[in-house]
Structure 1
Amino acid sequence: MASLFGKPAATGSGVIGDLAKDVQLASPPEDSISALSWSPVANHLAVSSWDNKVRIYDVTSTPTGNGVAAMDFASPVLACDWSKDGQKVVGAGSDKTAKLLDLGSGGSAAQQVAAHDAPIRTARFVDVPNSNSAMLVTGSWDKTIKYWDLRTSTPAASITCQERVYAMDVKDKLLVIATADRYVNVVNLDDPGKFFKTMQSPLKHQTRAVSCFKEANGFMIGSIEGRCAFQYINEKDSNLNMSFKCHRDPLVNNTITIWSINAISTHPVFGTFSTAGSDGTYHFWDKDARCRLKGYPAVGGSISASAFNSDGTIFSYAVSYDWHKGYATNNPQYPNKIMLHPVIEEEVKPKASVKKR
């Protein structure tokens, strides 16, 4: 089922959000920002970028943040993530490697912990039952995902995908991998060596982002066509699946401009979610009530990445060139910054659910 998700709510004045209190993070990267990731245990933000670095900021004592650490790579970095204990940060990217910085040990040098035959697009820490250690999973344009026990230099396991890995997310035992040609692979981490389920995206064009439900029973997916969908894993919930249009400009001269959805983030407390796109806007949604909670004005450039902090009180988003118009359209004047939006409960708290079984 497809609809203009949130259209009824958009007529009310309360749905328009305010950017006035959004704060810019100090000392941003020098090139496009590819990913944002918050520590699970503190207000520390990891940022990966096309300037070949992962930077780590402490936002605890000042809203504009302080840079506290960094990792250098040989080429653009496409992903970053934190370990569950908040002690380690991983970065991965186009040099085909993933590196780990162990902040808990006090060391300043990053160690290579993974390698692929093509650029690594995404990297996430995962808990695999009976592994006796936190593990890293990486997804690459070499059409594989690989699991890494950080105590060894060879992968613990590898799965071949149908196509290049474009996006990936994990929640509890649910791992979702989205590839080129619109394939989506679901892994149950109780049995991490194989796909539990494979499907094609309900959306008709290239996948850009996925984010698992807070309940770990499904996922949101967004594409370049200005459309998003939520998809449940179990067939018994299939009647709750839904796709909707968003990040589209109003009709002008019989033309609708459609923008790519670059980032989807799930609120860690309420399970509502955000979308952000090439149009430079971000929105908060309630999948169960099927409405938009808040929509925000354009921020002056494409939003390339987003993330909520661990308690959902800060929504971070990166304003930087997202390459949707190719190399020739980028220029030194294009904004390149990270913004922090202080979240108030009414913006993200779900409305009364209309979900029926």
Structure 2
Amino acid sequence: MAPASQYELAQPPSDSVTAVAYAPQSPTRLLASSWDKHVYLYDTHNGSEDAQGTLLNTFQHRAPVLDVCFGATDNVAYSACLDWQVYRIDLETGEKTSVVKHGAPVRCVVHSPQHSLLISASWDQSLQIHNTREPSTPNITIPLPGKPHALAASPSKLVVAMTARLVHIFDLTSLPSLFGSPNPAEVKPWQQRESSLKFLTRAVSCMPNDAGYATSSIEGRVAVEWFEDSAESQARKYAFKCHRQAAPADENGGGGDIVYPVNSLVFHPVYGTFASAGGDGTVALWDAEAKRRMKQYQKFPDNVAALAFSADGKYLAIGVCPGFETGVEDYSGEGKTKIFIRELGDGEAKGKGAK
């Protein structure tokens, strides 16, 4: 069995990392977005004796970048920016083009390779759908009933988590037919749900087998749900506590828990297990079917803000930076932001029932 290993990437962002994303083909090509107004492109395995990994390029923006994803190939990226725009970045030439303009900062962006769609979610309470196959086609705008905080796509579904515990699920297979439609604003979600979690949703991730999704909250909880709307399927959904630490005992002998936000969730592309990252500086692996924690890694030096599995499932990228929950007024991630690459051991992310 190949042992697991872990190392820190050289030349990390100079401020807090907001997202990390692996390329669709290469398992060693990684993007990171940051509050320092840049997107970073790394080769995670082409380093020197003195440094791990190589920073291939940086792409400057006018404002902090809140999310980033790859497009259909390893040479195209899309960034969601605080300046209200989504940019297409040619990673070979460095050319950056605005492809979406919202009316407020753009919080999330995802690419659906199955349907050649780029979907962005903005604090202007809307989704915009961009046709990456025919980019000159006018974008579709879908109004939302709340401010979006998390977005994820499966092969056929799009999950949008919003304020007021609202969750809308859209059928991606029906969206391409809307281009050129006279009134796309009347697009209805495939399902409307209320979050199983009592507090604000922090992250969402979809199962690779297209069966369901997981959400996390600012209050140290994760919920796992299935798309199928039958009573039997909905009875399977569950939620659990995580990323908490026992508080010191008070003068009366009581303690309770210190609760941290669960900042990121990501499903393993091969085994369907998932990893969670928290403000407590830990990353845990979970078996969604068996409802159990498989592994918790050693504590990282700071809040874990972002996670990504490589397309082959062999590597886990971990973005670490100070957490905003500390409440400091002169917050800065400079000098404290780090990106770790973990090479998973054989079967490390394999669930109990996996073949």
Tell me how far apart the structure 2 counterparts of residues 58 and 207 of structure 1 sit (CA, whole Å): 32
Name the structure 1 match of 2:181.
Answer: none
Shift of 1:67: 1.5
Q: Gaps spanning 5+ residues in structure 1: where?
A: 1-17
In the alignment, residue 242 of structure 1 is paired with which amino acid? Y
Tell me how far apart the structure 1 counterparts of residues 262 and 15 of structure 2 sit (CA, whole Å): 20
Which runs of structure 2 are paired with 1:118-133 in the superposition (5 Å)?
118-127=104-113, 129=115
In the alignment, residue 74 of structure 1 is paired with which amino acid? R
Tell me how far apart the structure 2 counterparts of residues 332 and 305 of structure 1 sit (CA, whole Å): 14
Give TM-score, length-normalised by structure 1: 0.87
Tell me how far apart the structure 1 counterparts of residues 114 and 139 of structure 2 sit (CA, whole Å): 11
Name the structure 2 match of 1:248.
Answer: 244
CA contact (8 A) 1:114 1:155 kept: no
In the alignment, residue 340 of structure 1 is paired with which amino acid? I
Name the structure 2 match of 1:7.
Answer: none
CA contact (8 A) 2:304 2:321 kept: yes
Shift of 1:69: 2.3
Could you tell me which of 78, 95, 120 is aligned with 1:109?
Answer: 95
Shift of 1:233: 1.2
- Higher mean Cα deviation, 307-316 or 81-90? 81-90
SS at match of 1:181: helix
SS at match of 1:249: strand
Name the structure 1 match of 2:189.
Answer: 195
Give TM-score, length-normalised by structure 2: 0.88
Shift of 1:352: 3.1
Name the structure 2 match of 1:144.
Answer: 126
- Higher mean Cα deviation, 200-209 or 182-191? 182-191
CA contact (8 A) 1:222 1:229 kept: yes
Tell me how far apart the structure 2 counterparts of residues 333 and 70 of structure 1 sit (CA, whole Å): 16
Shift of 1:126: 1.7
Name the structure 1 match of 2:17.
Answer: 33
Name the structure 2 match of 1:166.
Answer: 149
Shift of 1:251: 4.8
Q: Could you give the per-residue CA deviations for residues 151-198 of structure 1, whole angstroms, max 9, x where no partner exists?
A: 546742111111111110111111111111111110111222431001
Could you tell me which of 48, 73, 82 is aligned with 2:33?
Answer: 48
In the alignment, residue 250 of structure 1 is paired with which amino acid? A
Which runs of structure 2 are paired with 1:176-215 in the superposition (5 Å)?
176-192=159-175, 193-215=187-209
In the alignment, residue 124 of structure 2 is paired with which amino acid? D
Q: Measured at CA, do residues 30 and 251 of structure 1 come closer, stay the same or move farther in structure 2, by a change above 3 Å?
A: closer
SS at match of 1:235: coil
Tell me how far apart the structure 1 counterparts of residues 331 and 257 of structure 2 sit (CA, whole Å): 23
Q: Measured at CA, do residues 331 and 56 of structure 1 come closer, stay the same or move farther in structure 2, by a change above 3 Å?
A: closer
The yes-or-no answer on 1:61 pairing with 2:46 is yes
Shift of 1:333: 7.1
Tell me how far apart the structure 1 counterparts of residues 45 and 67 of structure 2 sit (CA, whole Å): 23
- Higher mean Cα deviation, 308-317 or 142-151? 142-151
In the alignment, residue 337 of structure 1 is paired with which amino acid? K
Tell me how far apart the structure 1 counterparts of residues 212 and 135 of structure 2 sit (CA, whole Å): 32
Tell me how far apart the structure 1 counterparts of residues 172 and 334 of structure 2 sit (CA, whole Å): 44
Tell me how far apart the structure 2 counterparts of residues 86 and 332 of structure 1 sit (CA, whole Å): 28
Q: Measured at CA, do residues 318 and 127 of structure 1 come closer, stay the same or move farther in structure 2, by a change above 3 Å?
A: closer
Name the structure 2 match of 1:3.
Answer: none
Q: Could you give the per-residue CA deviations for residues 48-91 of structure 1, whole angstroms, max 9, x where no partner exists?
A: 00000111111243382211222211111000001132231111
Q: Measured at CA, do residues 296 and 96 of structure 1 come closer, stay the same or move farther in structure 2, by a change above 3 Å?
A: same
CA contact (8 A) 1:321 1:334 kept: no
CA contact (8 A) 1:146 1:155 kept: no
SS at match of 2:246: coil
CA contact (8 A) 2:243 2:282 kept: yes
How many residues were matched structurally?
329
Shift of 1:321: 2.0
SS at match of 1:34: strand
Tell me how far apart the structure 2 counterparts of residues 331 and 158 of structure 1 sit (CA, whole Å): 35
The yes-or-no answer on 1:318 pairing with 2:319 is yes
Tell me how far apart the structure 1 counterparts of residues 281 and 330 of structure 2 sit (CA, whole Å): 16
SS at match of 2:256: coil
In the alignment, residue 30 of structure 2 is paired with which amino acid? L
Shift of 1:226: 0.4
Shift of 1:32: 0.3
Q: Measured at CA, do residues 107 and 164 of structure 1 come closer, stay the same or move farther in structure 2, by a change above 3 Å?
A: same
Name the structure 1 match of 2:117.
Answer: 135
Q: Measured at CA, do residues 89 and 234 of structure 1 come closer, stay the same or move farther in structure 2, by a change above 3 Å?
A: same
Tell me how far apart the structure 1 counterparts of residues 322 and 137 of structure 2 sit (CA, whole Å): 35
SS at match of 1:190: helix
CA contact (8 A) 1:145 1:160 kept: yes
Shift of 1:135: 2.3
Shift of 1:145: 0.4
Name the structure 2 match of 1:5.
Answer: none
In the alignment, residue 99 of structure 2 is paired with which amino acid? V
Tell me how far apart the structure 2 counterparts of residues 327 and 158 of structure 1 sit (CA, whole Å): 37
Name the structure 1 match of 2:77.
Answer: 89
Tell me how far apart the structure 1 counterparts of residues 70 and 332 of structure 2 sit (CA, whole Å): 31
CA contact (8 A) 2:302 2:323 kept: no
